[in-house]
Each structure stands twice: as structure tokens, then as C-alpha cells.
Amino acid sequence: MPPKRSASVDEQAEQLRLELGITTIPVPVERIARALGAQLRYSPLENEISGMIFIRDGAPIIGVNSLHHVHRQRFTIAHEIGHLRLHRDQLAASVHVDKSFPVLRRDEQSATGTDQIEVAANRFAAALLVPQAIIDAEFKNKPSDIDDESPIEALSKKLRVSKQTLEYRIRNLEKSA
Ligand SMILES: [Zn+2]
């Protein structure tokens, strides 16, 4: 038997939704976090801090900046779920704090070290929040024009994600197609 190719980060996010039987949008990120045994804590934090994750007595705790827009909070939770699924070993030692996800805007090719972990968590988050099937249904067989803002705007509202997250996900899907 040929060795099984390990699933990409995007695929792992899609698989998690499947595992939990989640087929509706907006994707219920809080429910997913709880299904993985994580506790959610909302509190007002400094503006530059999006959230954090740490493990206490074997239980993951996800902190979310309650002052941020709900779309950003949802992305933060999905990003921390990404760390939980992809980097659980690294979480054991310390509190992982996330600041404003700068890597979303940076050229991913140049990402190294810590940044790679953040890029992976961002990709996971976008794939968790934006199912490929929704993008396919929305844009297949239609003259796709990412510069036309209106379908992006409407879909981002339906998914309860920022336009930035939706565009990032569409770019990732185009690259891997
Ligand atoms: Zn992170």
C-alpha cells in the first residue's frame, strides 16, 4: 500500500467539521471548541491582543478579547482551535498569546519558525470558518471576480467572518486547486 499522504492543514479543518457533523453556516466555533473539551473565557484585553490558549490540568482554556468585533472573536477562537489540533505539544509548556495576526497580511513564503505555526493556525481558522463547499456553491460556474465586492460582502455576513478572512480563504483555495 502506498504511504498515506498526510492531510493538509485545510483538510484537517474540513475533517474536524465532518467529525462533529457540522454542516450549517455560520460555523458554530464555540460549539466546536467545547466539543474538543476547551473552555472559553471572554474578557476585555488590550486592543492588540486577540486571544490566547493554554492548558490547565489537561484542559485547554481559550481566552478571547471581548472588546473585539464578533467576526474577529470568531476568527480568534478558530485560530486557537487550530493550535489545539495542530500544535498541542507546544502548548503544554506555556501560555500562547496571539496579537492581531499580522501574518494574515504578510507573504507566507517568508514565514519562518514561530510564524509558521501562526500561518498554519490562520489557514486552519479560515478553512474551519469557510467551508470549501460553500465557496464552490457560491462561485462555481459564475464569472468569478474577486474584485467585485458585493458577493464577498454578502457571503462574509452569512459566514460571520471578515471580508479579509473570506478573501484569504478564497486565495488559499485557488492556490491549492
Ligand atoms: Zn497563534
Give the environment of ion ligand 1: residues with CB less than 5 A: 98, 118, 121
CA dist 106 to 78, 103, 109, 161, Å? 19, 5, 9, 19
- Say if CB 33 and CB 129 are below 8 A apart: no
CB neighbours (10 Å) of residue 21?
8
Q: What is the mean pLDDT of the chain?
A: 88
If you measure from the C-alpha of residue 143 to the centroid of ligand 1, how many angstroms do you get, rounded to a whole number? 35
The rounded distance, in Å, linking the Cα atoms of 65 and 110 is: 28
User: What pLDDT shows up at residue 138?
Assistant: 87
Grid cell in block for residue 128: 474551519
Domain range 9-131, CATH architecture: Orthogonal Bundle (1.10)
pLDDT at 30 over 90: yes
If you measure from the C-alpha of residue 147 to the centroid of ligand 1, how many angstroms do you get, rounded to a whole number? 29
CA dist 133 to 56, 71, 118, 151, Å? 36, 20, 25, 16
Q: How confident is the model over 100-150, as pLDDT tens digits?
A: 765 455 445 455 666 889 999 999 999 999 999 999 998 876 665 656 678
Q: What angle do CA 167, 130, 162 make, to 5 degrees?
A: 50
Burial (CB count within 10 angstroms: exposed 0-12, middle 13-18, buried 19+), residue 174: exposed
